[in-house]
Chains A and B, each alone.
Chain A
Amino acid sequence: MTWSSILIQLLNGLAGAASLFLVSAGLSLIFGVTRIVNFAHGSLYMLGLYGAYTLIETFGRTPLGFWSGVALAALLVGLAGALIEVAILRRIYRAPELFQLLATFAVVLVIKDIALFAWGPEDLVGPRAPGLRTPVEIFDKRIPLYDLVLIGIGPLVLGILWLLLTRTRWGTLVRAATQDREMVAALGVDQARLFTSVFFAGSVLAGLGGALQIPREPANLELDLSVIADAFVVTVVGGLGSIPGAFLAAIMIGVAKAFCIGIGTVQWFGVEIAFSKLTLVVEFLIMGLVLIIRPYGLLGRPPAQQRHSGEPAPPLVPPGWKVAAVWLVPLLLLPAAGDRYLVVLATDIACFALFAASLHLIMGPAGMVSFGHAAYFGIGAYAAGLLFKRAGLPMEAALALAPLAAGFAALIYGWFCVRLSGVYLAMLTLAFAQISWSIAFQWDSFTGGSNGIVGVWPAAWLASKTAYFYLALAVAAGGIALLWRVLFSPFGATLRAGRDSPLRLEAIGVELRRYQWAAFVLVGALAGAAGALFAFSKGSLSPSVISIALSTDALIMVLLGGVDTLTGPLAGAALFTWLRDEVARRTEFWRAVMGLVILAIVLIFPQGLVGGVKALVARWRRARA
């Protein structure tokens, strides 16, 4: 590379960093004050992009039309954010944190379908910025003037935010709340108004980040989750709640990505490395490295003394044989009903029940929330597919070995993950899942890239849907029984104890991390088994088995059923899978329907379905007594 092309890549990276910074600053601001991990933040960015497209088309492609369109889009997105806060989140601030997360997932689903309804499924290519189209010559290379403007906007917004935060009463409150939420409540500040205003401000930043991208990136429906993943990485690298940190991290990541694209494909010692395909991997590698060196991000601080938020987890009750029988007997008889469709659905449910149960162990009793559990499901599925198609192993062997592959991935990923806790841990799991996804997606020659692998069919004796269903049921039931058994073993008790009080556990001679690491491997292997089962039941697989969307599906299943019970995640998996199937057959907008159902459940049963039903039964018993 010449010096001029290095400079160009640097400028490219800085321009890309501007939007990344805006959207991450908004996320960080909202998290800092409300402690809500707003998964819908990427959706707000997406709305900003779509909104700017439509507004600029309406106002006309003049400089005035362009900039007023961008500004109005950001403002409208801000209002949408405030509306989400007032209508939904405000009602559940007292609910467990994970439930707030579930609500924001639901909002993601709803917004995606609103965008689908309003703008259709096609990518929309926006106008270039009027008046800023002429490229600027730098040495012998050209760069759009608009990119230079973007490079200026990042520090400008940083400066404005800094002034707002340090020179206004609102800013003082925001900073105080970021440091100590309870203290602000104690000071008698109107918390509701503070939260709404913070949501508004954070959403404006997301909307502006999106709207400013319109000349550089087409509006599309996949942006919500890809942007939220990027924003997570930036906030975590910069330090949660730190806006200068987000700025620094956005620049680091933006520039690193630009250089990857700029370098292109290189030959090193005869090995061809396509750097342009490594952008995602590089981004997440940076995150991994930073977290290992500075576990709380570049400019983040360790969370202030962790006071117990909410109530301690209730004790776990081991399910008896009766519970198992109630679940198993109807399932065993199910194929007798003669409905082929039902058998296929039940096979799906069996796979997802095992998947959800494995996620539940790690996030509930072990207290380590994973945003990227699909990594293990997907690696299991790919291992099964690759062993079967490429290594030519018999299906039975591929199915048996797949969990080992997933367990091995969990062994490596888990080593890093157990060094962190809370939101940082959750985001690192997401990062690993994204790395796995991008490898599956971009390594065409081995994994089949976006087409995936086809022709992954079960052995002859399992060819009938009914036979395969019994296999899936047996594997899922066996896996779930194993998970439950482990939960009530000394090992499982240690995990629960470590969630309750890591301090006490260490003080009685236990190195919690080793147990958590082993738990990662166990649930990784079982999620891998679920993925392998799933792959053979479908006959094919694609990168969607490692996607963020699947990871959030699993979280929804667990949270919907209730994280404090053992049968909850199974009920959640069944309900979610069935409902999605039913709704998807009837309407294109199944996501919105699912989202609304989830929101209704969140608002009515804040302990999840099984928890809610249990509470109702308890109340009914008390009323009778």
Chain B
Amino acid sequence: MSAVLEVEDLAKSFGGVRAVAGVSFAVAAGELLALIGPNGAGKSTCFNMLNGQLRPDTGRVRLAGRDIAGLPPRRVWRLGVGRTFQITATFASLTVRENVQMALYSHAGRLGSMLARFGGAFVAEADALLDQVGMRAQADRVCGVLAYGDLKRVELAIALANAPRLLLMDEPTAGMAPRERGALMGLAASLARARGIAVLFTEHDMDVVFGHANRVIVLDRGRLIAGGAPAEVRADAAVRAVYLGGSA
């Protein structure tokens, strides 16, 4: 397996807080890697460094061999990285379809036109993406009125719009009913396999993590404390300690 994403010794501090303190891992094409850890462990900070939202203090982020650390998010996206946010970020005044179309227009470099009418192009492509995430029926609704779980789906459709080779999902199933969670992650897993997308996701629902991830890495106070196949991680004493012997 070739690594799509390789992270080496990544670190970031806020003031005195070492949010991420030297983290290394890799994700291969077609692989689902779960990044888990308690609240405040540094998961979102990690994601933000991977897609350019934050500039790492130290470390390297290689996408298909190319160092992308420090590039702005828009450039990282152009290199084939899609992402969803822990707190959903969608365009509230646009319809669901238009949200996806924005990404498709952007991918095609067609947002600059001042006189054409927006929405005429990429309808079929947008609807196909919405079909995949189960939002086709709501394509004409305005995003501002959607339920939270539905927004997460729209975000996934947006993130898939540039046919990414790496998909970053920060708590993709928060706000969904348990059954929907399984379905969404099942979708992500099948897409990853079918198209060879590398998927990195964080998740607090351990059923989702252990049901769908190929590998799991555990972050605690900015450091990786364990990693491996789901079964190994589940049995790891250190991980159990972090999770207070909880559901894991």
Q: Do A and B come from one complex?
A: yes
| A interface, CB within 8 angstroms of B | 311-316, 485-486, 488-494, 496-497, 499-501, 503-511, 515, 522
Q: Are A489 and B90 in contact (CB under 8 A)?
A: no
Q: Are B91 and A500 in contact (CB under 8 A)?
A: yes
Q: Are A510 and B118 in contact (CB under 8 A)?
A: no
Chain B residue at smallest Cβ distance from A494: B111
Complex Cα distance A505/B98, Å? 13
Chief secondary structure at chain B's binding surface: loop
Known: A493-B102, A508-B102. A501 touches B111 (CB 8 A): no
Q: Are B102 and A497 in contact (CB under 8 A)?
A: yes
Q: Are A493 and B77 in contact (CB under 8 A)?
A: no
Partner of B98, one of A489, A491, A493: A493
Q: Are B94 and A493 in contact (CB under 8 A)?
A: yes
Q: Are B113 and A507 in contact (CB under 8 A)?
A: no
List chain B residues, Cβ under 8 A from A313: 92-93, 144
Complex Cα distance A8/B207, Å? 76
Shortest Cβ distance from residue A373 to the other chain B in the assembled complex, whole angstroms: 20
Chain B residue at smallest Cβ distance from A498: B91
Q: Are B118 and A509 in contact (CB under 8 A)?
A: no
Q: Are A506 and B115 in contact (CB under 8 A)?
A: no
Q: How many residues on chain B are close to A (CB under 8 Å)?
A: 38
A-B contact count (CB 8 A): 110
- Encode contact with A along B103-121: 1 for CB under 8 Å, 0 otherwise: 1011100111111111100
| B interface, CB within 8 angstroms of A | 51, 53, 72-75, 77-78, 83, 85, 89-95, 98, 102-103, 105-107, 110-119, 142, 144, 158, 161-162
Chain B residue at smallest Cβ distance from A510: B106
Q: Are A315 and B93 in contact (CB under 8 A)?
A: yes
Q: Are B89 and A497 in contact (CB under 8 A)?
A: no
CB-defined A-B contacts under 8 Å, sample of 17 = A313-B92, A316-B93, A488-B117, A489-B115, A489-B118, A490-B110, A490-B113, A493-B118, A496-B94, A497-B91, A505-B91, A505-B102, A506-B73, A508-B158, A509-B103, A509-B106, A510-B106
Q: Are A314 and B51 in contact (CB under 8 A)?
A: no
List chain A residues, Cβ under 8 A from B144: 311-315
Complex Cα distance A506/B106, Å? 10
Task: Specify which of B85, B117, B158 lies most central, judged by the most chain A CB atoms within 10 Å of its CB.
Answer: B117
Chain A residue at smallest Cβ distance from B112: A491
List chain A residues, Cβ under 8 A from B92: 312-313, 500-501
Partner of B77, one of A316, A503, A508: A508
Partner of B105, one of A316, A490, A501, A515: A490
List chain B residues, Cβ under 8 A from A315: 93-95, 142, 144
Q: Are A489 and B114 in contact (CB under 8 A)?
A: yes
Shortest Cβ distance from residue B158 to the other chain A in the assembled complex, whole angstroms: 7
Chain A residue at smallest Cβ distance from B100: A508
Chain A residue at smallest Cβ distance from B89: A504
Shortest Cβ distance from residue B33 to the other chain A in the assembled complex, whole angstroms: 20
Complex Cα distance A508/B122, Å? 16
List chain A residues, Cβ under 8 A from B106: 508-510
List chain A residues, Cβ under 8 A from B75: 509
List chain A residues, Cβ under 8 A from B72: 506, 511
Chief secondary structure at chain A's binding surface: helix
List chain A residues, Cβ under 8 A from B94: 315, 493, 496-497, 500
Complex Cα distance A509/B82, Å? 10
Complex Cα distance A505/B142, Å? 17
Excluding A313-B92, A496-B93, A500-B94, 5 further A-B contacts by CB distance (< 8 Å) are: A496-B91, A504-B85, A506-B73, A509-B75, A510-B111
Shortest Cβ distance from residue B25 to the other chain A in the assembled complex, whole angstroms: 22
Complex Cα distance A509/B91, Å? 15
Shortest Cβ distance from residue B220 to the other chain A in the assembled complex, whole angstroms: 24
Q: Are B89 and A501 in contact (CB under 8 A)?
A: yes
Chain A residue at smallest Cβ distance from B168: A507
Q: Are B161 and A508 in contact (CB under 8 A)?
A: yes
Shortest Cβ distance from residue A507 to the other chain B in the assembled complex, whole angstroms: 5
List chain B residues, Cβ under 8 A from A505: 91, 102
Shortest Cβ distance from residue A532 to the other chain B in the assembled complex, whole angstroms: 22
Partner of B89, one of A316, A490, A507, A515: A507
Partner of B162, one of A506, A509, A522: A509
Complex Cα distance A271/B211, Å? 78
Shortest Cβ distance from residue A302 to the other chain B in the assembled complex, whole angstroms: 13
Complex Cα distance A505/B118, Å? 16
List chain A residues, Cβ under 8 A from B115: 485-486, 489
List chain B residues, Cβ under 8 A from A494: 102, 111
Q: Are B78 and A486 in contact (CB under 8 A)?
A: no
List chain B residues, Cβ under 8 A from A522: 114
Q: Are A504 and B116 in contact (CB under 8 A)?
A: no
Known: A491-B113, A494-B111. A507 touches B77 (CB 8 A): yes
List chain B residues, Cβ under 8 A from A507: 51, 53, 73-74, 77, 83, 85, 89
Q: Are A504 and B105 in contact (CB under 8 A)?
A: no
Q: Which 9 A-B pairs have the closest CB atoms?
A: A312-B92, A504-B89, A493-B118, A500-B91, A312-B144, A509-B77, A497-B91, A508-B103, A491-B114
Shortest Cβ distance from residue A305 to the other chain B in the assembled complex, whole angstroms: 10
List chain A residues, Cβ under 8 A from B107: 508-509
List chain B residues, Cβ under 8 A from A491: 111-114
Shortest Cβ distance from residue B140 to the other chain A in the assembled complex, whole angstroms: 11
Q: Are A504 and B111 in contact (CB under 8 A)?
A: no
List chain A residues, Cβ under 8 A from B113: 489-491
List chain A residues, Cβ under 8 A from B102: 493-494, 497, 505, 508
Complex Cα distance A512/B53, Å? 15
Complex Cα distance A496/B105, Å? 15
Shortest Cβ distance from residue A317 to the other chain B in the assembled complex, whole angstroms: 11
Shortest Cβ distance from residue A501 to the other chain B in the assembled complex, whole angstroms: 5
Shortest Cβ distance from residue B18 to the other chain A in the assembled complex, whole angstroms: 20
List chain A residues, Cβ under 8 A from B162: 508-509
List chain B residues, Cβ under 8 A from A314: 93, 142, 144
Q: Are B77 and A489 in contact (CB under 8 A)?
A: no
Shortest Cβ distance from residue A606 to the other chain B in the assembled complex, whole angstroms: 19
Complex Cα distance A624/B89, Å? 38
Partner of B118, one of A492, A499, A511: A492
Complex Cα distance A479/B241, Å? 67
Q: Are B74 and A510 in contact (CB under 8 A)?
A: yes
Shortest Cβ distance from residue A93 to the other chain B in the assembled complex, whole angstroms: 22
Complex Cα distance A500/B151, Å? 14
List chain B residues, Cβ under 8 A from A486: 114-115
Complex Cα distance A489/B51, Å? 28
List chain A residues, Cβ under 8 A from B78: 509
Q: Are A504 and B74 in contact (CB under 8 A)?
A: no
Chain B residue at smallest Cβ distance from A499: B93
List chain A residues, Cβ under 8 A from B51: 507
Known: A489-B113, A489-B117, A490-B118. A503 touches B85 (CB 8 A): yes
List chain B residues, Cβ under 8 A from A499: 93
Shortest Cβ distance from residue A367 to the other chain B in the assembled complex, whole angstroms: 10
Complex Cα distance A494/B93, Å? 11
Task: Specify which of A506, A509, A515 lies most central, judged by the most chain B CB atoms within 10 Å of its CB.
Answer: A509
